[in-house]
Structure 1
């Protein structure tokens, strides 16, 4: 029964993939969550911390912990929003941008390995299916509240 459980199967693959990325990114000092976070901050300058968590589907504790690591490393700058002093926003620093660029070839290598192993069309189909699954999850969550 458990072998057909969507959650168990996705957790297993997700955990393995996270371990692979973290292992390969180790020389950069970043974990995959931090790499992904830097990428989102780069593409959305002055993003609020809460919006970043929503985009990444991460709880506030995980967002704060990783942002503190990135901030302490000088990769991001956290400040109060100009329009609302109750809101904190985050921007990537030049050092953070350099770190993102250092890690991107490693990330691309993993992406290419995955695409190469299952084929570009099947990879794109996988992404479509994962998106469809996320929409189902969102619908179920909305209908149960």
Structure 2
């Protein structure tokens, strides 16, 4: 069998992680990218669509669509800036925080499984290499 290409393995890892998370998030009627939005909001408070798009690496049109969906579900709110009516800030609601915490626990389960298989040094080395790969591949 021929050696698998690095890009193929990275793609498979991404697919496996996404599939695992989405299988659990489906019960909450959420997707992985929606939980990324909630995580960023939980960490940053109220931010604009533009800032949210940059922080999540999700395109502005996709963010706008997801924000509408999450707002309908009661996971976040849009608030108008008191100084400038043209500016809107997206904020997570208490309901959104609860769901976001569940998603973090699911992610922690995956990390625990990985930690059981690899030692601390191997995990740290893997994290460093992944950060390097992101830096190499990232679109300017």
The alignment's TM-score, normalised by the length of structure 2, stands at 0.83
Taking only aligned residues, the RMSD between alpha carbons, in angstroms, comes to 2.3
Q: How does 1:63-82 map to 2 (within 5 A)?
A: 63-82=63-82
| In 2, Cα distance between equivalents of 1:62 and 1:123 | 32
Q: 1:39-96: CA deviations, max 9, x gaps?
A: 1101101111111111111111221222122111101001233444333321111111
Note the residue ranges of structure 1 that are not aligned, 5 or more in a row: none
Answer whether contact 1:79 1:88 (CA < 8 A) is retained: yes
Going from structure 1 to structure 2, the CA distance change for 1:135 and 1:82 (only over 3 Å counts) comes to: farther
Question: What's the counterpart of residue 38 of structure 2?
Answer: 38
Question: What's the counterpart of residue 4 of structure 2?
Answer: 3
Question: What's the counterpart of residue 101 of structure 2?
Answer: 101
Q: 1:118-137: CA deviations, max 9, x gaps?
A: 33332222221121122223
Note the residue ranges of structure 2 that are not aligned, 5 or more in a row: none
| In 2, Cα distance between equivalents of 1:2 and 1:78 | 49
User: Secondary structure of 2:90's match?
Assistant: strand
Alpha-carbon distance, 1:14 to partner: 0.5
Question: What's the counterpart of residue 26 of structure 2?
Answer: 26
The alignment's TM-score, normalised by the length of structure 1, stands at 0.81
Q: Larger deviation: 69-78 or 92-101? A: 92-101
Does residue 57 (structure 1) correspond to residue 57 (structure 2)? The answer is yes
Q: Larger deviation: 125-134 or 67-76? A: 125-134
| Number of aligned positions between the proteins | 139
